[in-house]
Amino acid sequence: MKFQLEHADANTKARTGRISTAHGEILTPIFMPVGTVGSVKGLTVDDLHREVGAQIILGNTYHLYLRPGTEILEQAGGLHCFNGWDGPILTDSGGFQVFSLTGIRKLTEEGCTFQSHIDGSRHIFTPERVMDIERSIGGDIIMALDECPPGNSDYSYAKKSLGLTHRWLDRCITRFRETEPLYGYEQSLFPIVQGCTYKDLRIESAEFVASKEADGNAIGGLAVGEPTEVMYEMIEVVNAILPTDKPRYLMGVGTPVNLLEAIERGVDMFDCVMPTRNGRNAMLFTREGIMNMRNKKWENDFSPIDPNGTASVDTFYTKAYLHHLFKAQELLALRIASVHNLAFYLWLVGEARKQIAADNFAQWKRQMVPQLGQRL
């Protein structure tokens, strides 16, 4: 993987770049649709390419390990061959999902023992095992195993957790270096900065991660309940340390406003289930604001869903029709809303890229933020 920094905004920390992988190029800043079990819920590969304009998607190590399993994935030739997506793929480490299994997991220095949410069977994720699983899945970018502590962790626990994450990172790097890709192309390992909302721990972690000289770096453990201003502060603290010539990936964030605030602070890559999950619950994001398509106000509104949208569904279907589909609990509603929201997110980061290139990002962001968060 190669990263080329193309332009730095004259007035902010925002920047544009180009990531080159074995499965294609990614123009940053970029949003990555989440394909948890090998699919972005309800959407086809053609939807992602033609309607959404996705450049890279995610797969989840925890879920793909449990089902269909690494044996099936290896027989298929990796996730790209299994699901038909020919662009870049990023796989997370599964750590966030494992540590969310409160009551059915046990954390030790060796790794994390957990019970499957599917059938209760017992498994263990060690740094070495996770690297092997991510080799089997075959993502272009793979994440190191880390502990994502609760957002309200006290300092003592946060510091102890950070030490474990750093020791696990060293083991991930060792395993990564002593193994080979399975499908004939290189993979890149990204470490993850942790430290909760404690500035000194974030600095310590960012310095440790930067010292590994990885192809790219991630910021984890944010958007887990802390105030947004604290999240933005932690991003600033970390990005002041992470190298400028490597992509920076903010994990699991977030709202359209979150994306613009983070781009302003130097983040290049994002993922979040919000556009698809909220879409399936009738919430649509637009450049004018947020629409709840179950609201009665849309019942007889026969204007396009979003005349400014970039997907064909935005102008082909009306607000009244989408309102009807949600009220009738028709599956088509979920697809239309998911396509719209993902296309909007990809439009947003693409427009941010244009504004950065024109050194106009700050002014454009000031205009957009009040609109993006308002309820229509």
Nearest alpha carbon to residue 287 among 353, 220, 347: 347
In this predicted model, what pLDDT tens digit does every residue of 191-201 receive, in sequence order?
999 999 999 99
In this predicted model, what pLDDT tens digit does every residue of 54-112 receive, in sequence order?
999 999 999 999 999 999 999 999 999 999 999 999 999 988 887 777 777 889 999 99
Q: Which amino acid is at 324?
A: H
Mean pLDDT score, 273-284: 98
Strands 141-143 and 192-193: unpaired
Catalytic residue check, 271: yes
Strands 24-28 and 15-21: antiparallel
102: three-class secondary structure by DSSP: coil
What residues contact 130, with CB distance under 8 A and at least 6 apart? 61, 93, 94, 95, 144, 145, 172
269: three-class secondary structure by DSSP: strand
Examine the pLDDT at 133 and tell me if it is beyond 80. yes
* CA pair distance 230, 170, nearest whole angstrom: 28
Tell me the backbone φ, ψ of residue 15, rounded to 5 degrees: -150, 160
pLDDT for res 93: 93
* CA pair distance 229, 197, nearest whole angstrom: 11
Mean pLDDT score, 330-350: 98
Examine the pLDDT at 152 and tell me if it is beyond 80. yes
Mean pLDDT score, 134-151: 95
* CA pair distance 287, 50, nearest whole angstrom: 20
Contact indicator for 293, 323 with CB cutoff of 8 Å: yes
* CA pair distance 331, 312, nearest whole angstrom: 18
Mean pLDDT score, 248-264: 97
In this predicted model, what pLDDT tens digit does every residue of 10-28 receive, in sequence order?
999 999 999 999 999 999 9
* CA pair distance 63, 101, nearest whole angstrom: 13
Mean pLDDT score, 150-163: 93
What residues contact 316, with CB distance under 8 A and at least 6 apart? 304
The two tokens of residue 293 are 């398509």
Q: How confident is the model at residue 283 (pLDDT cuts 50, 70, 90)?
A: very high
Mean pLDDT score, 292-303: 98
In this predicted model, what pLDDT tens digit does every residue of 208-246 receive, in sequence order?
999 999 999 999 999 988 999 999 999 999 999 999 999
Nearest alpha carbon to residue 68 among 86, 82, 50: 82
User: Which is the catalytic residue, given 92, 140, 146, 268?
Assistant: 92
Catalytic residue check, 92: yes
Query: What's the Cα-to-Cα distance from 366 to each of 369, 370, 372, rounded to whole Å?
Result: 6, 7, 11
* Residue carrying structure tokens 């890559």: 269
User: Which is the catalytic residue, given 146, 271, 306, 314?
Assistant: 271
Q: Which amino acid is at 303?
A: S
6: three-class secondary structure by DSSP: strand
